[in-house]
Structure 1
Amino acid sequence: MPEKYRDHTDKYCKRVLRLYFMILCLWPTVIVAQLTSPLSFSPRQQVLYPVPEGVGDAWMEKAKGFDTYSENELVQKIACYELAIPLYKMAANRLKQAMALQMLGDCHNHQGMLPPALSELEEALTIYKEVQYPALQGIYDLLGNVNSQMGNYKTALKNGYMAVKTAELQQDTTLQLCTIYNRLGLTFFHLAEYAQALTYFKKSLEVAKKWKDTASLLTLVPNIASAYQRLNQPEEAIHILKDMEKRYDITSDEDKITLAAGLSNSYVSMGRYDDAYIQVKRLQSLSRSFGASHYMQDAIYKALISYFQAIEDYNSVKQYGIDYEGYCKQAGYTYELLNDYGYLFRADSALGNYPAAIDYYQQYKVLQDSLYSEEKTREIAQLQMQYDMEKKDHDLLLKEQSIQLLKRQGLLQKSDLQRARLEGYVIIGGTTTLAILLILGYNRYQLKQNINRQLRRQQQEIHEQHNSLHVLLYTQRKLVAEKDWLVNEIHHRVRDNLQIIMRLLNAQAAHLDDKNALAAIHESRHRMQAISLIHQKLYLSGSMAIVDMDIYIRELVAYFKDSLTGLQQISFDLQIADVYLEVCQAVPIGLVLNEAITNSFKYAFANGGKGAISVNLHYVAEDYVLLAVKDNGKGLPADFEKRRHASMGIILMETLSEQLEGDLSVKDENGVSVTLIFKPQHNREKLPGLLKLVNKTA
């Protein structure tokens, strides 16, 4: 609001307040009685003394002068509404009381104080229903938005649908419909129904374009870009964001943050980290313009954490993740807190902080189960199906009404035509012509009736096919979810069984004195750990069959450093390309790597001296992968060929290379060099880009 108008509003409010305070002084007895015991006055008596209602109106008018998007002015706006509500209650004006509660709840929503916002909005809805206020689309929309942010998705979806339904009944085509569609789209976005979210975002965009509302357009375009990004279309997201930047003069810091965050997330999805870094620096600079609890910090945190996760800067992920955790808890953002626990778990896992990682993973699972339990998912699907069916019934009813109207119009037109013709025939006395026209009219009527019957049959068939398709899609989604759960559970059980075997080996080792037997048990335990680590990766990742060898080999080497005493003196040079293997090939590779590193530790650096071991995994030729493990130790013994067939490690590596249908060679080249060349079961081109990104950040 311009400063001159705000000054004018303040002067007006001060005059109104001064007038009512004078009235208070003139009627002290009545006002004191109302303030101390308002219930002792009947509604008729309260109407005779409208002083509290007038003062409440003054506070409501003063609240309009404060900017909702300014943190300091928002506090003053909230204070005005809090003063107006009890005054309206005292004056027994329930409608104004509900309106003030709705405005207060909206302000608390902007402030990020979701629990009080929910309580105030629910109280406002109750009062609206008591006074039978019909235009409830606004309050339903706000309730849907607050519940969505708190993770109450079933209630949020129900309120969103009620907002759309009420707006349609009220024939509301204002900008409020734009907000309703946008917030319903956000609820579907949190439910990972990105196609459905995109549909509602586009509906909202059409309303904003109709009203030429630039502020709404600058909000909706980044939402649409986020949906395209989640639908694996980052190029489309970047295109519409760049188009928005060219079309509109983006001056506010809020819109700059929204644009920069959208571009950063899209660039990260495409692996364009240099372009993303430019947007990250811009976000870090803009973040200083707002308080730590401002609602725009949400978009900044998510973009920064996503970028540092992608470039594997886990210290930064940890730092921003902890700050974001406090922000989400203070505001009550459940969906964002769930994602943040996932980031903190991956960061602590990569940094080796396994106790903290386990704690964050447990919190992640508890929160995930509370938000996306099977029962809640089924209820939400049923609610969505019910809404779709009601909407289609409503559309069919409208079509039927349109058909009935057309039929009535046709009958009226036909009647007029017959009357006109009848008059003409009477004038010319053509009784024969009149009979012919009546027959033709009857034939046309029969033809139209036949056409209408065919249309009704076709509509019925379409309706039945649509219902069958809905049931089929729901069943298919349920089967896919059950399959994913079963595969996930298999990897979980395999990993747990391997851990049990390792504990049994440890327990057996505790009762053995034979050094050879102890060594054999320790080697077996390392082999089990190599296999267990693969199943752990598969269980925690989004893919159930593909292993990112870069992350797997690095974690396997980290395990050796922690478990083999003396290995800390040996440096590792890891040159690992972006290689993704299926489980049937990743397990043999892990075992070969285990044997090679263990042999280097046992024989090449037997005296505990310093040394280096290099591990190289990359593509060679077109469709082959090379695994090379080399140390700079004392090399092979002179009688290596004689002992070759007696060495369990060499026999195991040769057997594993045969299983991979690859070529294994062990050479003495300034140390021992173990080389394995094999062909993966899939080509690099067949791996989708999104799967690579997910595995890279798992």
Structure 2
Amino acid sequence: MITGKNIILALFFVVLFSSSGNGQIFDFSKPDPYKKVFVETDDFDVSYLQILEDALDKIETDTLKFTVLNDLAYYWHTRNLTTALGFTEKGLKLTNEKNNGLWHGRFQITQGAILLRQEKLDTAEVILLEAAKKVEETDFAFLNTQLGYVYERRGQLGRAADYALKTFRLGEKLNDKKALGIAYSDLSNLFWKQGKYEEGLEYGLKSLSFFEELGLNDLDYDFTLYIVGNNYLSLKQYDKAMEYYERSIEIGEHYGFYNNLSDVYISLVDLYAFLNQLNKAEEAGKNAIKYAYLLDNAFMLMRSYLSVGELQSDNGNYPGAIENIQKSIEVATPNFGDGFFLSKAYNSLGKAYAKNEQYQEAYKAFSEYDSLNRIVFTAEADQRISRLQTEFEVAQKENTIQLQETKLLQQKTSQNLISLIASLLLLFLLVLFISFRNNRKKNKRLRKQNKEKEFLLKEIHHRVKNNLEVVSSLLALQTAQVKDPNVVSAMKESQNRVYSMSIIHQRLYQSNHLSTIEMKDYFFNLGTHILDSFGEEERIKINYKMAELHLDVDTAVPLGLIVNELLTNSLKYAFPNERQGVITIDLSRKSAENIQLLVKDNGIGQTRDGPIKGTGFGKKLIELLTKQLDGTRQVIHTPGTQYLFEFKVHKAV
């Protein structure tokens, strides 16, 4: 007999399992009632987790219940790790009671994925290795990915790449395109971390092609969009980076992938900063922190605070930057396993301290950075990943050749003539392939040598810059012990001279041009620093009346020292009694071999034969540097003072 209560219950099931709005996740009229999320259907919204949870108590088949419960646990780990762990522990208990070793192992893989994101890397590794003894071969792609993440988080990038290769080989063996997509995605991420952005982009796009061929919009596809965006951002292709980040956000917001959303918004902080859209960068930082808190993930929270701190540092808010970067490091301590991002945090903290003239703290932070950096970016890890990349490519080629040979054998059994023609064609292709492979190896070797030389040169400039900052810090420490104002002034001028040289090396290792310096940007940073060191940002303004101009290092360093001395003299003597003033710097190329430098102020000026103020060391230094550059100097005593130089220089590349 159909009662009112039965009708209500029936209506409940119709609503729960109907196709309307939920992509027919459940249809109990079929032998296989569950359309697995992100595999057989993705036509649903963020409510799908509640649908799965509501269905649990109505499912009687063990295998189906295990499948739904495991999906619940895994996809909850994209929103809240604590909730996800609760479902996992329920699954582990249930499979123990049912004595089902296979599904117990699968729940252990999900448990490992959650624990490693809770910074419990050792426990996650033990559980994942135990699960490997229980699960089937088809489960190893997911298992290997989680083990790879464990080693990646520890900074062991070489071992992480080993597991990506295992996943790749498994995908080839089983013809599992999802596994191949995951392998390429993992390697793309590792290349990005190692600064190999072109390789990272290539492998990321290959990964996306596999996911798109399968029609998947799942968590791994969303993460790969973010990784591709990162590689485009590092290659300074900002429009492409924005395109992939927006696609990732669209998927993440639709399905509630909070971990990926936090990742993307962290990267958007950098992208908007590069585009000088500071309000959007700040908003992205807030979103990154919001999703990290929702996820209850210390790793995401640490990186979110770091991105906000770096943004503040780049915009001159050094106290705020120090506060947020310190928060980032505090979140990461003591169980944080990722040396890559922790080294980034200490490097950024050191820069913020240095810019805030807290040189002792800066030195300590840079020391921590160097220690962590040596652990993560080892020559062994670089060689290991390069070797694995070669194995990936060789495996692809071997698979292609094997497939061609199989087709030829099939044709040979059906028609001898076609077999003969195909064999001749194969031989011709083989000759071309060998020729192409040899040329590719040569080109690859040359590219590798160029990259190694470029890396070494950047590393040299980086070290020189760091050493000059140490010298500057030592001078600052010594200055703090001196009470004589004349000595203090001399020490501060020495610090500015050292800083003018350190900017050169900083610009060299941060730019794509290792042999030239863009002078307008360089003078702007130098002038800002000098005004800041004298505390004259409000009273004195500097105009940079010059277009972009690239000069070689041997010319840029003396020019920087000359401008440093002239700016210092103007600030000390040209504007007494709190007088407002303007200083103008104009550098222009007059011919292929000649440049002209004009530095002038509208101060009180000086008489032609007036007494020399100060020690006279600055004047002597300017004369020596002018001779070094084979130049001439002219002093014009107008209202204010003008210094006009002409130099012979080599043409910048």
TM-score by length of 1: 0.68
Match of 1:162 in 2: 166
CA deviation vs aligned residue, 1:148-194 (integer Å, no higher than 9, x gap): 23322111111111112102211224x55544433332222222232
CA deviation vs aligned residue, 1:584-619 (integer Å, no higher than 9, x gap): 2222223323443565577668xx965667543345
Match of 1:277 in 2: 279
Q: What is the correspondence of 1:77-476 to structure 2 with a 5 Å cutoff?
A: 77-81=87-91, 83=93, 94-127=101-134, 133=137, 135-173=139-177, 175=178, 177-216=180-219, 218-241=222-245, 250=254, 252=256, 254=258, 263-269=268-274, 271=275, 273-274=276-277, 276-278=278-280, 280-281=282-283, 283-284=285-286, 287-288=289-290, 290-291=292-293, 293-294=296-297, 297=301, 300-301=304-305, 304-305=308-309, 307-329=311-333, 330-411=335-416, 444=417, 449=420, 452-453=423-424, 455-456=426-427, 458-463=429-434, 465-467=436-438, 469-470=440-441, 472-474=443-445, 476=447
CA deviation vs aligned residue, 1:617-671 (integer Å, no higher than 9, x gap): 34569996654253735x424634x989x97754653554465566644234455
Q: How far does residue 573 in structure 1 lie from its aligned partner after superposition?
A: 3.5
Counterpart amino acid of residue 120 in structure 1: I
Counterpart amino acid of residue 562 in structure 2: V
Q: How far does residue 214 in structure 1 lie from its aligned partner after superposition?
A: 3.5
Counterpart amino acid of residue 106 in structure 1: A
What CA distance in whole angstroms lies between the structure 2 residues aligned with 1:569 and 1:552?
A: 13
Counterpart amino acid of residue 573 in structure 1: K
Match of 2:566 in 1: 596
- Contact 2:468–2:502 (8 Å) recurs in 1: no
402-411 or 58-67: bigger deviation:
58-67
CA deviation vs aligned residue, 1:208-241 (integer Å, no higher than 9, x gap): 3344333455444333222222222112223455
Match of 2:524 in 1: 550
Q: What is the correspondence of 1:493-532 to structure 2 with a 5 Å cutoff?
A: 529=498, 532=501
| Residue-pair matches, total | 582
CA deviation vs aligned residue, 1:364-400 (integer Å, no higher than 9, x gap): 2222221222232122212222332233223222222
Counterpart amino acid of residue 101 in structure 1: Q
Match of 1:27 in 2: none
What CA distance in whole angstroms lies between the structure 2 residues aligned with 1:555 and 1:670?
A: 26
- Contact 1:569–1:611 (8 Å) recurs in 2: no
What CA distance in whole angstroms lies between the structure 2 residues aligned with 1:61 and 1:643?
A: 86
Indicate how the Cα distance of structure 1 residues 473 and 650 shifts in structure 2: closer, same or farther if over 3 A, else same. same
Match of 1:636 in 2: 606
Counterpart amino acid of residue 456 in structure 2: W
Q: Please report the RMSD computed on the Cα atoms of aligned residues, expressed in angstroms.
A: 4.9
- Contact 1:81–1:103 (8 Å) recurs in 2: no
Structure 1 residues not aligned, in runs of 5+: 17-53, 412-443, 508-515, 562-566, 687-698
177-186 or 237-246: bigger deviation:
237-246
What CA distance in whole angstroms lies between the structure 2 residues aligned with 1:610 and 1:333?
A: 51
Match of 1:674 in 2: 643
Q: How far does residue 551 in structure 1 lie from its aligned partner after superposition?
A: 2.2
Indicate how the Cα distance of structure 1 residues 236 and 306 shifts in structure 2: closer, same or farther if over 3 A, else same. farther
What CA distance in whole angstroms lies between the structure 2 residues aligned with 1:502 and 1:96?
A: 59
What CA distance in whole angstroms lies between the structure 2 residues aligned with 1:344 and 1:682?
A: 38
SS at match of 1:332: coil
Indicate how the Cα distance of structure 1 residues 323 and 474 shifts in structure 2: closer, same or farther if over 3 A, else same. farther
Counterpart amino acid of residue 474 in structure 1: R
Indicate how the Cα distance of structure 1 residues 253 and 496 shifts in structure 2: closer, same or farther if over 3 A, else same. closer
Match of 2:11 in 1: none
CA deviation vs aligned residue, 1:551-588 (integer Å, no higher than 9, x gap): 234445666x5xxxxx9999653445776643222222
- Contact 1:614–1:630 (8 Å) recurs in 2: yes
SS at match of 1:632: coil
Q: What is the correspondence of 1:30-49 to structure 2 with a 5 Å cutoff?
A: none
Q: What is the correspondence of 1:20-31 to structure 2 with a 5 Å cutoff?
A: none
Match of 1:6 among 37, 53, 76: 53
Q: How far does residue 7 in structure 1 lie from its aligned partner after superposition?
A: 3.9
Match of 1:689 in 2: none
Indicate how the Cα distance of structure 1 residues 549 and 116 shifts in structure 2: closer, same or farther if over 3 A, else same. farther
373-382 or 301-310: bigger deviation:
301-310
Q: What is the correspondence of 1:621-632 to structure 2 with a 5 Å cutoff?
A: 626-630=597-601, 632=603
What CA distance in whole angstroms lies between the structure 2 residues aligned with 1:108 and 1:260?
A: 23
Indicate how the Cα distance of structure 1 residues 521 and 266 shifts in structure 2: closer, same or farther if over 3 A, else same. closer
Match of 1:421 in 2: none
Match of 1:586 in 2: 556
Counterpart amino acid of residue 584 in structure 2: N
Match of 1:617 in 2: 585
Q: When you count helix as a share of all residues, which structure comes out higher? A: 1
- Contact 2:164–2:183 (8 Å) recurs in 1: yes
Indicate how the Cα distance of structure 1 residues 580 and 267 shifts in structure 2: closer, same or farther if over 3 A, else same. farther
Counterpart amino acid of residue 409 in structure 1: S
Indicate how the Cα distance of structure 1 residues 310 and 107 shifts in structure 2: closer, same or farther if over 3 A, else same. same
Q: How far does residue 529 in structure 1 lie from its aligned partner after superposition?
A: 3.5
Counterpart amino acid of residue 53 in structure 2: R
What CA distance in whole angstroms lies between the structure 1 residues aligned with 2:471 and 2:305?
A: 40
What CA distance in whole angstroms lies between the structure 2 residues aligned with 1:364 and 1:499?
A: 14
What CA distance in whole angstroms lies between the structure 2 residues aligned with 1:499 and 1:135?
A: 52
